[in-house]
Chains A and B, each alone.
Chain A
Amino acid sequence: MLRRQTIDYPLLVIALLLTAFGIAMVFSAGQTDVPSPIVGGAWKRQLVFFAVALTGCWIVTRGSVRLFEWSAWPLYVLTCVLLAYLLGFGTGSGTAASTKSWLTIGGRKIGQPAELAKIATVLMLARVLASKRDSFRSLVDMWRPLAVVAVPWVLVMLQPDLGTGLGFIGICFAMLFWAGAPWQLLVMLASPGISLALAFSTGLWGAWFCVLVALVFWYRVWLWEGVVLVLLNAVVGMAAPKLWDSLNPYQQSRILVFTNDPTMDPSGAAYHLNQSQIAIGSGGLFGKGFTAGTQKGLGFLPERHTDFIFSVVGEELGFVGVCVALSLFLALFLRCIRVATRANDAFPSLVACGLAALWLVHVIINIGMTLNLMPVTGIPLPFFSYGGSFLLVCWTAVAILLRISGEGRGKADEVSL
């Protein structure tokens, strides 16, 4: 592996553009009528984080795909241990003060291990899936990859960090799909979740249940596997109300706001969403101008430099700015798929797909949330949201993708999607 790598310039340029766009928006988010020292100076710290991330990126690109594969196990074990440690000794921060997501050593916040766990899980999952030679025939066949995801997922959900949990699920399904799992099995795998979501309406849930039973018969899964799956769905459907009661009130209200009218409680749970929609909608075609957003500037927009940063894009740069940002993200994902198809082995291909899926879940949920298309989960927008850990993770992912692309077949720097 001493031959000189060609750099996947389109991928690098897209990632740089997204980060520059993001830092500009973090800067704008800090320009408020009543200055806030924390948010106001965020863009400078984000610039420092970016410098660190670029350095990290350069270091990671020095490693080979083989090294990534080798490091999957130790990384995975390390993050799982860290996540378990957090459950006992983690500290909260900012708006998520009640969750134990921060690793603190000697009173200094080091970072959020959950971000590292995202990469580690992708690598580990890719390793496990790549080592499986034959294709999946049943759900039981999937136990190894499922177990790989389940361990960090459970640890993260115990923090609780719903957003990262959703990220793991997205990674899991995308990589199973990329590994060639039949769609019927994926649907069956998702069935308990779908049952849970549909449990509020007996009719819908009943219809879904019939579809599931038909699918089980048609696909001819193992008898006991089918029985367990159907029973599991029935139990989930019936236990859903109890599960609902066990949720925190804030979680309940977020879901209620999402499924019902966002204007129903304009001062409480729906306030953020409502203000975000007003910010985006009032931006119109060309926006109110960079740094000139009133919803942002006057403090109506909550979490404007982190979770709701895309609302600032919508308000200040309008539909045009939104389309530019969305196009950059779409280009990033299509480029990732190109990297995955060009990879010369199953492991790098799966890693590329997993990293893309990781970003995709964040992008869809975060951007969807600003318009109430997705429930509010407090998940950051890659390259945009202020935060060191996540920027570092994103650029590590970029580095891994650059390396995979460089080692892949064909020309890495060809401009095509």
Chain B
Amino acid sequence: MSHQPNEVHKRARIARSILTLAFVALASAFFRAQILRSEEFALQSETNRLRVVPLPGARATIYDRHGEIIAENLPGYSVSILTPKEDSLRSAMRALARVVNLDSAQQERVVRRFRDAPTRPAVIFSDAPFDVVSVLEEHRMDFPGLIIQSAPKRYYPDGPAVAAFVGYVSEISQQDLLKEKFKEAGYKAGQQVGKAGLELQYETRLRGTEGARFVEVDARNRVVREAGVRPDIAPAAPPPLHTNIDLDLQRYAHSYFGDSLQGAMVALDPNTGAVLALYSAPTYDVNKFIGGVSNEYFNSLRADKRNPLYNKATQGIYPPASTWKLATAAIGLEKGIVTMDTHMPVPCRGGMQIGNRYYKCWDHDGHGDVSLTQAIAKSCDVYFYQLGLKLGLMDLVAGGVKLGFNQRTGIDLPGEFQSRFPDGKAYFDKKYGPRGWNNNFVASMSIGQGDNAQTPLNMAKFYTALAIDGKASTPRIVDTTIIRTDAITLSPEKLKGLQDALGDVVSRGTAAGAQIKGLTIAGKTGTAQNSDASRDHAWFVGYAPVEQPKIVVAVLLEYGLHGTAAAKVATKMMERYLKAKLTLTSITPDG
């Protein structure tokens, strides 16, 4: 090579320029990464090393109308584990199974939760018993990713009494996790969610806000540091949910029905539609459903012939029988076919011939020639057969539809059944064929039998219209907004006539045995025929006090034989509620 100084210096200049350029390029690449994109990488570095351990938030407390607790949270413990891979999770659980009780089905559930949310700790026990917690605390060093923390646990102090409406909470199912509604609300595997009743209906208002704790993990997802990595985010409980329920009445219904009676009880405030009590018997302990019901308990409930799992107040539909005669009467009065004093052509002799069939009255001795007022008080079937015939089947059906007998009440509870009622000619054509039915069907319908089956709740709603001014109040457990819709369109005088007749039922009519001293009660009994002919269902729907109705009660006793049995239960409920109310007002200090 030529080693002439000039050439060497020329090459050195080129070399220096190339070097400087290369280093400036390198430095600017670092400038871009460390200064311009620093935040982005810092975030990625944090996501790398930090794992969020959710701190379960307590659900809102549910109160009754007087501030008594219906649903609350007790301190409990949850056990979860943070693992990098499914393999390590499985081996950790095999090791855990040597220390605590953890069968293979439970292990599979943990694996499923891990798959649904791999970056969250997989919940092993959402409500670990104290002995399990203490054993695990002892072996804590053997399970590096194990997280034992306090987790609020749902509790219903009056579990069996409130089972019909409060519902329960349990872990969110895999199917629910896939639903858009839950995805949008940010539900994660292992979280608790309302499964029935108020817990389901008001899930968005009851759901607690999850907090977070941060732990540091290494590249293999092993927990390296547990405390002080980053400040915790405290969980938050939403404001409590106040209901219209009167827990005292609810408890009273529970104790009154006891083990012997089966059926349903609904109590509404006719002025507001507030649900004061809603009970279905036999009941079950809803606390046993929290966090997943045991197969044993669930199967015993399912095997019970008295159907405890089925909410008879909102899902049971029964022929309303004589309680529906008020609807027939109201429709007749509306049409102007009868007044309260109208007598029918055929007096009651224990039955009458309609077409080619003889229709019996419930009282074989007959009621003689009665007015509408007397017919209601004595529940005379023959009178109502004739009223129905005068109205005609289609007018009666149309009137029933107008009164809301083919609709749900719109109560704020999930799973309410629609009552069964024809909606017009097409219904009969479809059910019996165009020539399979005739106008005489009206006879059965007019006494609340035939193609008519109502939930106790829907009957109670109808009686809120009878009790006040003809407007039906939509039953609401939580909302304070009053929804009252037009139902019976009668002048106040005519409505008063109906109300007086109802009052007569209890004062001297079919429910005379259910009188309560010092309380004026109006209502109607009903005895519903059903498939088991020897054991009729017993109905009573009524309100009190007559002068200024404060409570509507509908009681249905399955196989209660006669409406008077239901009337006794209902009047006891009214007494309890109204007397209790008096006591409460009397202890309120003046000023």
Spell out A's residues near B (CB within 8 Å).
Answer: 33-34, 129-130, 132, 135, 177-180, 275, 277-285, 294-295, 298-300, 314, 318-319, 322-323, 326, 329-330, 333-334, 337-338, 340-341, 345-346, 349-350, 353, 360, 364, 367-368, 371, 373
Assuming the contacts A322-B27, A334-B16, A340-B12, asked whether A298 and B224 have C-beta atoms less than 8 A apart, the reply is: yes
Is B35 located at the chain interface by the 8 A CB criterion? yes
Residues in A with CB closer than 8 Å to B35 are 284-285, 319
Residues in A with CB closer than 8 Å to B5 are 341
| Interface 9-mer from B36-44, B198-206, B451-459, B501-509 | B36-44
Cross-interface CB contact of B26 among A34, A285, A346, A364, cutoff 8 Å = A364
**B1-30 toward A: CB 8 Å interface, digit per residue (1/0)?**
111010111011001100110110011011
Assuming the contacts A298-B49, A337-B12, A341-B8, asked whether A319 and B1 have C-beta atoms less than 8 A apart, the reply is: no
Q: Give complex CA distance A73, B458 in Å.
A: 108
Closest B residue by C-beta to A330:
B23
Question: Are the CB atoms of B23 and A284 closer together than 8 Å?
Answer: no
Closest A residue by C-beta to B25:
A373
Cross-interface CB contact of A33 among B9, B26, B225, cutoff 8 Å = B225
Residues in A with CB closer than 8 Å to B225 are 33
Q: Across the A-B interface, give the 10 residue pairs with the lowest CB-CB distance, nearest first.
A: A281-B41, A282-B45, A299-B219, A179-B1, A298-B218, A319-B34, A346-B3, A282-B42, A284-B38, A33-B224
Is B64 located at the chain interface by the 8 A CB criterion? no
Residues in A with CB closer than 8 Å to B34 are 280-281, 283-285, 314, 318-319, 322
Q: Give complex CA distance A314, B31 in Å.
A: 11
Assuming the contacts A180-B11, A330-B23, asked whether A277 and B33 have C-beta atoms less than 8 A apart, the reply is: yes
Residues in B with CB closer than 8 Å to A318 are 34
- In the complex, besides A281-B38, A298-B219, 4 extra interface pairs with C-beta distance below 8 angstroms are A178-B11, A281-B45, A298-B224, A299-B220
Question: Are the CB atoms of A280 and B49 closer together than 8 Å?
Answer: no
Assuming the contacts A298-B224, A341-B9, asked whether A330 and B20 have C-beta atoms less than 8 A apart, the reply is: yes
Question: Are the CB atoms of A367 and B8 closer together than 8 Å?
Answer: no
Q: Give complex CA distance A373, B22 in Å.
A: 12
Closest A residue by C-beta to B224:
A33
Rounded to whole Å, the gap between the CB of B256 and the closest CB of chain A is 64
Closest A residue by C-beta to B45:
A282
Q: Give complex CA distance A360, B26 in Å.
A: 12
Rounded to whole Å, the gap between the CB of B230 and the closest CB of chain A is 12
Question: Are the CB atoms of B1 and A337 closer together than 8 Å?
Answer: no
Closest B residue by C-beta to A340:
B12
Question: Which of B5, B33, B42 gathers most chain A CB within 10 Å?
Answer: B33
Q: Give complex CA distance A350, B9 in Å.
A: 13
Rounded to whole Å, the gap between the CB of B7 and the closest CB of chain A is 6
Assuming the contacts A341-B8, A341-B9, asked whether A329 and B23 have C-beta atoms less than 8 A apart, the reply is: yes
Question: Are the CB atoms of A314 and B30 closer together than 8 Å?
Answer: yes
Q: What total count of A-B pairs have CB within 8 Å?
A: 135
Rounded to whole Å, the gap between the CB of B29 and the closest CB of chain A is 5
Is B222 located at the chain interface by the 8 A CB criterion? yes
Closest B residue by C-beta to A136:
B1
Q: Give complex CA distance A238, B587 in Å.
A: 101
Residues in B with CB closer than 8 Å to A338 are 12
Q: Give complex CA distance A346, B37 in Å.
A: 47
Question: Are the CB atoms of A346 and B1 closer together than 8 Å?
Answer: yes
Q: Give complex CA distance A147, B48 in Å.
A: 49
Residues in B with CB closer than 8 Å to A279 are 45
Question: Are the CB atoms of B1 and A330 closer together than 8 Å?
Answer: no
Question: Are the CB atoms of A333 and B1 closer together than 8 Å?
Answer: no
Residues in B with CB closer than 8 Å to A180 are 1-2, 7, 11
Q: Give complex CA distance A255, B119 in Å.
A: 31
Question: Are the CB atoms of A373 and B29 closer together than 8 Å?
Answer: yes
Rounded to whole Å, the gap between the CB of A34 and the closest CB of chain B is 6
Residues in A with CB closer than 8 Å to B218 are 33-34, 298-300
**B216-243 toward A: CB 8 Å interface, digit per residue (1/0)?**
1111101011000000000000000000
Instruction: List 15 A-B pairs, Cβ < 8 Å.
Output: A33-B216, A280-B33, A281-B42, A281-B45, A283-B38, A285-B35, A298-B218, A298-B219, A298-B224, A314-B33, A337-B15, A341-B12, A364-B22, A367-B26, A371-B30
Residues in A with CB closer than 8 Å to B30 are 280, 314, 319, 322-323, 326, 371
Closest A residue by C-beta to B8:
A341
Question: Are the CB atoms of B40 and A281 closer together than 8 Å?
Answer: yes
**B382-405 toward A: CB 8 Å interface, digit per residue (1/0)?**
000000000000000000000000
Question: Are the CB atoms of B19 and A177 closer together than 8 Å?
Answer: no
Question: Are the CB atoms of B41 and A135 closer together than 8 Å?
Answer: no
Cross-interface CB contact of A295 among B26, B29, B37, B48, cutoff 8 Å = B48
Residues in B with CB closer than 8 Å to A129 are 1
Question: Are the CB atoms of B16 and A371 closer together than 8 Å?
Answer: no
